[in-house]
Amino acid sequence: MTILVTEDHIRGSLYALVDDVLAGLGYHGDDPHFDRTPERFIDFLWQFRADQEPFKFTTFPNTEGLDSLVVVGDIPFYSMCAHHMVPFIGKAHVGYIPDQEIAGISKLARAVEYFARRLTVQETITNKIVELLVERLAPLGCGVVMQAEHLCMSMRGVQKPGHLTTTSALRGVMLKEPEAREEFLSFVSLRR
């Protein structure tokens, strides 16, 4: 006998668990501010589930032989720390030098959103984006720089709000040729 577990069943179980956590922390159901809090919290977390549908990374033939740097910078993102399940929020800068293919420009931002929208760490997001560019575009070079404030560091532990954690991943000529790397990094504005 196969038992089907529906999304509604899973969510209902999760709502009950969050309700128990709130009660364990001393927040009781008689406070109107906590009406439906478990549902809202699970609805929020549901956006970060691991089984997201992949997006279509649209590419076009590079019929003009373009070989100049393309950078989309200051792409806002938010994610959830896999270690503490609290947000980290920042900006990503994604660039590549085309070879045979060019990307639909919005796909660079979609790649950031796709890999950030899960329980993960910033280093993983950075590397996953650059690996996708290598796989889909086979560019002459590509790079990703990400900066974020991690609320797990701002609100707990060391409690240092306002910090920025910066990660980078470079491939091809952006890794091997200093001039290409310098050009990419000069396009990336490392600021708040």
Average pLDDT, the chain: 93
Please tell me the total count of domains within the chain. 2
Model pLDDT, residue 157: 85
Asked if the structure places residue 52 within a domain, the reply is no
pLDDT digits (tens, 9 = 90+) for 6-24: 888 888 899 999 999 999 9
Parent domain of 70? 59-187
Interior angle at CA 190, CA 188 and CA 191, nearest 5: 135
Looking at the fold, whether 111 and 164 belong to one and the same domain comes out as yes
Q: Is residue 178 part of a domain?
A: yes
Burial of 147 (0-12, 13-18, 19+ CB in 10 A): buried
Do 141 and 96 touch, CB atoms closer than 8 A?
A: yes
Residues of the chain with pLDDT under 70: 1-3, 190-192
pTM: 0.90
Q: Can you tell me the distance from the alpha carbon of 155 to that of 163, in angstroms, rounded to the nearest whole number?
A: 11
* 37 and 74 co-located in one domain: no
- Tell me, what's the pLDDT at 75? 97
Tokens of 100: 């045979």
State whether 134 and 175 are in the same domain. yes
- Same domain, yes or no: 39 and 133: no
> Residue 3: what pLDDT?
67
The pLDDT value given to residue 71: 97
